[in-house]
Amino acid sequence: MIDLLLKPEKSFSNGIAIIIDVLRATSTIVTALCNGAPFVLPVRTLSQARKLRKKTVVLGGERGGVKPADFDLGNSPLEYTQSALDGRGVILSTTNGTRAISLVRAREMAAACFLNLNSAVRAVSENEEVLLVCAGSYGKPSFEDTLCAGAIIYSSGRKDLTDSARVAKYLWKENRSRSLVDLLLESSHGMELCRYGFSEDIDYCAQMNITDILPTAKYLLSERGVQKREDLRKYGFRAFQFHHL
C-alpha cells in the first residue's frame, strides 16, 4: 500500500518512508551527496545544528528562506558545490524539510525530489509498504511537494493507493505536460523564494532525473520499535543520516 501525508505529522511505517521537500531541503540533500558530502545529517533546530558544529562538517540551513548569519551555507542546492563541501559532511536544519524528517519513524527513510525521481520510483516499486511524506510549507500542504509525490506514484504504476496518494497521482497526471519550472513558480513557496532572490533555485530544482542516487537512512529497530535518538548515538548509530543507496 502507498500512503501519502500531504503535510508532516508524527507517523510510523514498517516499510520505507520517503520525504519530499522539492523547495528545497531534499533537493539540497541529493545535491550535497552528489557533490561529495559523505553524509547529510538533518536536525530539527538551529541550536542542535550549532552544538554539532566542528571543522570537519559544513553547517547549512535556513529559517524563513534566509541563511542564519553564523552558518556556512544556506538551503540553496546551488551553494553545495564540490569546492564548498571539500569532502565534508553536512549538518542541515531547515524550516520545513528537516522538521518533516524529525516527525517520521520508519524501517528505512529516503529523500526524494524531481532531481532523483526515477530512483524514488524504483524504491516505491521494490517496497510493499510505502509512506510518502510531503514536507509542506509552514505546516500546510504545498503544491510542489504534492506534485512530486504524484509524479512518483504515477510513474510507479501501482494501484494500491490511499485516497491522499490518489489525489496526488491525479494532480501530476493533469499537469505532467506543462513546464515544471512554470509549475514550481506558481507555488506559494516558489513565489516566496523568488522574492528572496532564489529564482535560480527554481530552475535547478525543476530538473528531472539528473542523478540516480537515493539518499537513505536506516534506523536501529528493537521489539519496541524504533529506538530513541539518544540510544542510536550511544550505540554508534545516527538517525537521519543520509547516504548513497
**Of 32, 216, 212, nearest in space to 109 by CA:** 216
Name, in order, each residue with C-beta under 8 angstroms of 78's C-beta and a sequence gap of 6 or more.
31, 200, 201, 204
Q: Percent of the chain having pLDDT more than 90?
A: 78
Predicted confidence band of residue 209 (pLDDT cuts 50, 70, 90): very high
Handedness of CA 122, 127, 128, 133 (dihedral sign): negative
Give the per-residue pLDDT at 231: 41
Mean pLDDT of 90-96: 94
Task: Report the 10 Å Cβ neighbour count for 187.
Answer: 20
Give the per-residue pLDDT at 219: 54
C-alpha cell at position 54:
566542528
> Is the predicted pLDDT of residue 36 greater than 80, yes or no?
yes
Predicted confidence band of residue 56 (pLDDT cuts 50, 70, 90): confident
Angle subtended at Cα 98 by Cα 111 and Cα 167, rounded to the nearest 5 degrees: 60
Give the per-residue pLDDT at 112: 97
Mean pLDDT of 104-126: 95
Handedness of CA 20, 21, 25, 27 (dihedral sign): positive
Predicted confidence band of residue 39 (pLDDT cuts 50, 70, 90): confident
Could you report the per-residue pLDDT of 119-158, keeping only the tens digit for each? Answer: 999 999 999 999 999 999 999 999 999 999 999 999 999 9
Q: How far apart are CA 180 and CA 163, in angstroms?
A: 24
Is the CATH number 3.90.1560.10 carried by domain 2-215?
yes
Cα separation values, 186 from 97, 173, 189, Å:
20, 17, 8
DSSP β-ladder status, 216-218 and 104-112: antiparallel
> Across all residues in the chain, what is the average pLDDT?
90
Predicted confidence band of residue 239 (pLDDT cuts 50, 70, 90): very low
DSSP β-ladder status, 57-61 and 216-218: unpaired
C-alpha cell at position 158:
501501482
Q: How far apart are CA 112 and CA 217, in angstroms?
A: 12
